[in-house]
Structure 1
Amino acid sequence: MNNDDYDSSLPEGLDLRALSAFVDGELPQAQRAAIEAQLEQHPQAAARVAAWRAQKAALRALCGAPPRSARAESDQRHDDSERNAVDEPAFIVVRRSPPWWQRAGLAACWLAVGAGLALAVGPLAPRLTGGKWGGAWGAGSQPPSFAQRADIAYAVYTPERRHPVEVAASEEEHLINWLSKRLNRPLSVPSLQEYGYSLVGGRLLPGEAGPAAQFMYENTTGERLTLYVTGIARDETAFRLLRDGNRRTFYWVNDGMGYALSGAIAEGKLRSIAIDVCSALGGKPEVWQ
């Protein structure tokens, strides 16, 4: 016997190599039964075996391995597998929770991802919500995706206090030229001063098939409206409404462009504003009503 295999705390006939093989299930059944009998007579050796089994179970958990390997042990421990499973002690792996600043940063990242995801999945919203998009469509119909995107963009950006737009109204000429170039279409920004709303500015957004523009307005009480503009393949003569919670979006299509005016104000008031905006942008709402 090598010195490495000897431990004076173990009784005669039990060495480290034998106990290690016993724990690993590498012994023939006869030798295994003999060691089990000896362990019943020597509590100190039995305690060492129990400690090794606990270490083995913890290592398996940390490495993601299953608690027992039937493939490695089936031929040698079939008869006593249930007993050994009971012998292996339960354990808990305790991990230190991340610091508060790390959790806060992760939450902020997910919030930003959520805003972007809301714009990306806008067209799927009616199917995901069971068709809760309201409006003046016929039974079983849904608003076009540009109207849904306009409604979501309103919900995402109007609560912003410090960065509601990319380009402020103080650079209105630059804003119009920039967005006209990106949409490849001359744009204009209707004035809503007669309704008490001033232009805040605008931003570029992704549309269904290309760029889209959002112009934001605000009155003295902080209420905001947004005008969403994007290119659209189809044309139709319609002036329709989308409802979602307390938000309303009147939308229409004219000359290859989709328009949507969104706000959380009285429906009648928003309708009047939308009709004037539609007229100012070349539409004919009097024909569509």
Structure 2
Amino acid sequence: MSHDDHHSAVPKPPDLQALSAFVDDELPDETHAAVLEHLVQDPQAAARVADWRAQKSALKALCGAPVADEPSFIVVRASAPWWRRAGLAACWLVAGAGLALVLGPLASHLPGGLLDHEPMSFAKRADVAYAVYTPEQRHPVEVAASEEKHLISWLSKRLDRPLSVPSLQEYGYSLVGGRLLPGEAGPAAQFMYENPEGARLTLYVTGIPDNETAFRLFRDGNRRTFYWVSDHMGYALSGPISEGKLREMAIDVCGDLGGKPESWQ
């Protein structure tokens, strides 16, 4: 194989035009899926897409356009009353910042004795995967919930560990499906849930060398991720709902998966 042939065989990262078409849902299915996979491994491109989606959602909200066909988890936050009276420019700026994938350390005390700190790397990856895949309408998952048995068998084999999918029905969330993702030290799995209003949660699962039992919260904008480690497996439950509700759900999920959430109380 010549140097030119080898070079052409390497997929090129999507350019700005492709990213823009991705946000507008104008790419063919094959190209759309390729861009989606690239975003999980390219935080800078994922941040750009998140910013553009935030701006698009903010503009729709300002114009009163319906957004039911495109679930949005954007928060236009205000630091003083004049922000609430700001116009279009402020929405572009603040909404974009609300979903930017800037993953930095946090250091504030939380209810229940929790303390934000530099999150473990798998929690960051879970947050990025949440931000990339939950807005998707055509390709939110690789295997749908209708094939749950196959989904669990496939991901268990890839992660080399028996997996199970906890139910969140009592909280109003049904399983959408799941997908395989690249983790830091091996494969990872993402299970996606959705409620009747279209809001989504994800459960990220991956093997990790650490085995601490701490239960922590990671926040980025209006997204929240409760994460923990049990038997050398890292788990992260991500969503835009209140910390109290997400914590309650994470405790139940941990118990369902064989963990010991009583140690967090």
Q: Deviations over 1:209-262 (max 9, x none)?
A: 000000000000011000000001010121110011000000000011000000
**What is the CA–CA distance in structure 1 between the aligned matches of 2:45 and 2:183, rounded to whole Å?**
9
Contact persistence 1:250–1:261 (CA under 8 A): yes
Residue 94 of structure 2 is aligned to residue 118 of structure 1: no
In structure 1, the partner of 2:169 is 193
Cα offset, 1:208, TM superposition = 0.6
Contact persistence 2:40–2:46 (CA under 8 A): no
Higher relative contact order by CA 8 Å / sep ≥ 6: 1 or 2? 2
Counterpart of 2:227, as a letter, is: Y
User: Is the alpha carbon distance of 1:145 and 1:192 closer, same or farther for their aligned partners in structure 2, counting shifts above 3 Å?
Assistant: same
Please give the residue correspondences for 1:7-46 in structure 2 after superposition, counting only pairs within 5 Å. Answer: none
In structure 2, the partner of 1:176 is 152
In structure 2, the partner of 1:203 is 179
Contact persistence 2:40–2:128 (CA under 8 A): no
Cα offset, 1:288, TM superposition = 2.2
Partner SS for 2:166:
coil
2:200 is aligned, of 206, 220, 224, to 224
Counterpart of 1:255, as a letter, is: D
**What is the CA–CA distance in structure 1 between the aligned matches of 2:44 and 2:206, rounded to whole Å?**
14
Cα offset, 1:143, TM superposition = 0.9
Partner SS for 1:204:
strand
Aligned residues: 182
**What is the CA–CA distance in structure 1 between the aligned matches of 2:170 and 2:22, rounded to whole Å?**
40
In structure 2, the partner of 1:13 is none
Counterpart of 1:147, as a letter, is: A
Cα offset, 1:118, TM superposition = 1.9
**What is the CA–CA distance in structure 1 between the aligned matches of 2:18 and 2:44, rounded to whole Å?**
22
Q: Deviations over 1:5-49 (max 9, x none)?
A: xxxxxxxxxxxxxxxxxxxxxxxxxxxxxxxxxxxxxxxxxxxxx
Identity rate of aligned residues, in percent? Answer: 71
Gaps of 5+ in 1: 1-101, 123-127
Cα RMSD after superposing both structures: 2.9
User: Is the alpha carbon distance of 1:138 and 1:241 closer, same or farther for their aligned partners in structure 2, counting shifts above 3 Å?
Assistant: closer
Cα offset, 1:161, TM superposition = 1.1
Q: Deviations over 1:101-123 (max 9, x none)?
A: x984475489934453029999x
Counterpart of 2:166, as a letter, is: P
**What is the CA–CA distance in structure 2 between the aligned matches of 1:121 and 1:176, rounded to whole Å?**
27
In structure 1, the partner of 2:224 is 248
**What is the CA–CA distance in structure 2 between the aligned matches of 1:247 and 1:204, rounded to whole Å?**
21
**What is the CA–CA distance in structure 1 between the aligned matches of 2:44 and 2:150, rounded to whole Å?**
25
In structure 1, the partner of 2:256 is 280
Gaps of 5+ in 2: 1-14, 24-31, 48-100
Contact persistence 2:39–2:45 (CA under 8 A): no
Counterpart of 2:41, as a letter, is: G
In structure 2, the partner of 1:239 is 215
1:131 is aligned, of 76, 97, 104, to 104
